[in-house]
């Protein structure tokens, strides 16, 4: 009988422990904050997530940090789970925000405030605030970099250029692209920039899910089709570092050599690999968006919505998501090239010098 009771107690303890385990494992929790980010391939999202988690945990919140790995259904079920587990606030950087309408409505019905992180949530009123970078500004910085390096203001040219844009379902891709063309379109019109492929429309130059492979294939095709007979590409306007890796592969396969006839390649995100490529001359520049700053702004928004106060906002006009103009905080992007990449990234502690000199990602 004694033995039997001991077994019963053990079973009870196990069940109890399992229940606790669920609570302490990022699920139902009295001060749970849910965060879902698009993927881990683009390395910045890992920094965004880690930093938000760290800041929130320091303040005593419990964080469920998820990555959707570019899978729309996975992101829907992540948000659904966060709602089920009673999240107090949900931070979303959408894979494709137009597919999240139902689950965001569900959050709203459950009185859970949602904050759009980096990417705007379109077509919904179930979003309180938007924390991001000046994405049009990112494109302007890329355009101006090319303008300066090619001496376009001084009337130099003609140069052969090709354009790439981000994913059509990411509002940021449109903003970045509008910044690029605001600066460079006048030079296309004047004939200082020539686009041998003829592809400048967003629908032709966009890259689904910002995929390196998709971009590389398109570049392979462009080089094979429009750069026959020794024609050379002088600049490729590339919307983020990862797409730049694909463009670089394609150029190398076609025989271009860094330091000889390598074109100017732009980028965004200041990934470790891109920083190394800038130092080696493979990429010309990247636009650095300090994810630590963005994470901090977002955490301030979370606290404000939970405390019923107003967060710091610096834009109330730019982000019409087709339902309303979402109040936003825009952080400032910074250009990095070989002259300042190490100083800024290592100097600010974004990366260590050892990481920059290693092979890690």
Q: Which residues bind ligand BGC (CB under 6 A)?
A: 38, 42, 44, 118-119, 166, 170, 172, 210, 240, 268-269
Strand partners, 133: 331
Helix (H) or strand (E) holding 334: strand 334-337
Alpha carbons 200 and 44: distance in angstroms, whole number: 27
Q: Which is nearer to ligand BGC, 197 or 268 (CB)?
A: 268
Q: Which is nearer to ligand BGC, 302 or 331 (CB)?
A: 331
Q: Is residue 64 within 8 Å of 112, Cβ to Cβ?
A: no
Structure-block tokens of residue 78: 């992540």
Smallest distance from the beta carbon of 268 to ligand BGC, in angstroms?
Answer: 6
Smallest distance from the beta carbon of 41 to ligand BGC, in angstroms?
Answer: 8
CB atoms within 10 A of CB 21: 10
| 52 to 11, 75, 186, 347: CA distances (angstroms) | 38, 18, 41, 21
Alpha carbons 222 and 233: distance in angstroms, whole number: 10
Q: Which is nearer to ligand BGC, 42 or 301 (CB)?
A: 42
Smallest distance from the beta carbon of 238 to ligand BGC, in angstroms?
Answer: 11
Structure-block tokens of residue 34: 């849910």
Q: Which is nearer to ligand BGC, 162 or 269 (CB)?
A: 269
Smallest distance from the beta carbon of 171 to ligand BGC, in angstroms?
Answer: 8
DSSP SS3 for 266: coil
Strand arrangement, sheet containing 129-133: 62-67, 32-37, 89-92, 114-117, 129-133, 328-331
Strand partners, 36: 66, 92
Q: Which is nearer to ligand BGC, 200 or 286 (CB)?
A: 286
End-to-end CA distance of the chain: 59
Smallest distance from the beta carbon of 96 to ligand BGC, in angstroms?
Answer: 11
Q: Which is nearer to ligand BGC, 44 or 51 (CB)?
A: 44
Q: Which is nearer to ligand BGC, 150 or 287 (CB)?
A: 287
């Amino acid at each position: 009988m004694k033995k039997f009771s001991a077994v019963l107690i053990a079973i009870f303890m196990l069940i109890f422990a399992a229940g606790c385990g669920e609570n302490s494992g990022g699920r139902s929790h009295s001060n749970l904050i849910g965060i879902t980010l698009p993927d881990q391939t683009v390395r910045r999202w890992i920094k965004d997530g880690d930093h938000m988690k760290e800041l929130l945990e320091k303040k005593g919140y419990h964080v469920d940090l998820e990555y959707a790995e570019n899978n729309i259904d996975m992101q829907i079920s992540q948000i659904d789970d966060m709602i089920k587990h009673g999240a107090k606030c949900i931070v979303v950087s959408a894979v494709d925000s137009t597919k999240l309408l139902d689950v965001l409505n569900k959050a709203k019905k459950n009185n859970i405030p949602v904050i759009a992180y980096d990417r705007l949530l379109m077509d919904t009123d179930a979003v309180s605030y938007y924390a991001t970078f000046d994405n049009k500004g990112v494109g302007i910085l890329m355009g101006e970099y090319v303008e300066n390096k090619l001496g376009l203001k001084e009337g130099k040219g003609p140069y052969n250029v090709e354009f790439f844009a981000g994913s059509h379902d990411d509002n940021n891709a449109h903003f970045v692209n509008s910044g690029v063309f605001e600066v460079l379109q006048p030079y296309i019109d004047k004939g200082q920039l020539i686009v041998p492929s003829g592809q400048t429309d967003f629908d032709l130059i966009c890259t689904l899910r910002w995929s390196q492979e998709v971009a590389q294939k398109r570049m392979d095709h462009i080089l094979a089709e429009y750069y026959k007979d020794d024609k050379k590409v002088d600049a490729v306007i590339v919307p983020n570092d990862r797409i730049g890796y694909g463009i670089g592969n394609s150029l190398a396969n076609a025989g271009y050599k860094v330091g000889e006839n390598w074109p100017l390649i732009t980028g965004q995100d200041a990934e470790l690999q891109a920083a190394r490529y800038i130092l080696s001359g493979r990429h010309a520049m990247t636009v650095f968006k300090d994810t630590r700053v963005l994470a901090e702004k977002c955490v301030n928004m979370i606290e404000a919505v939970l405390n019923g106060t107003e967060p710091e906002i610096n834009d109330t006009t730019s982000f019409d998501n087709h339902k309303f103009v979402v109040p936003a905080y825009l952080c400032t992007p910074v250009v990095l090239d070989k002259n300042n990449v190490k100083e800024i990234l290592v100097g600010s502690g974004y990366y260590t010098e050892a990481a920059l000199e290693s092979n890690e990602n």
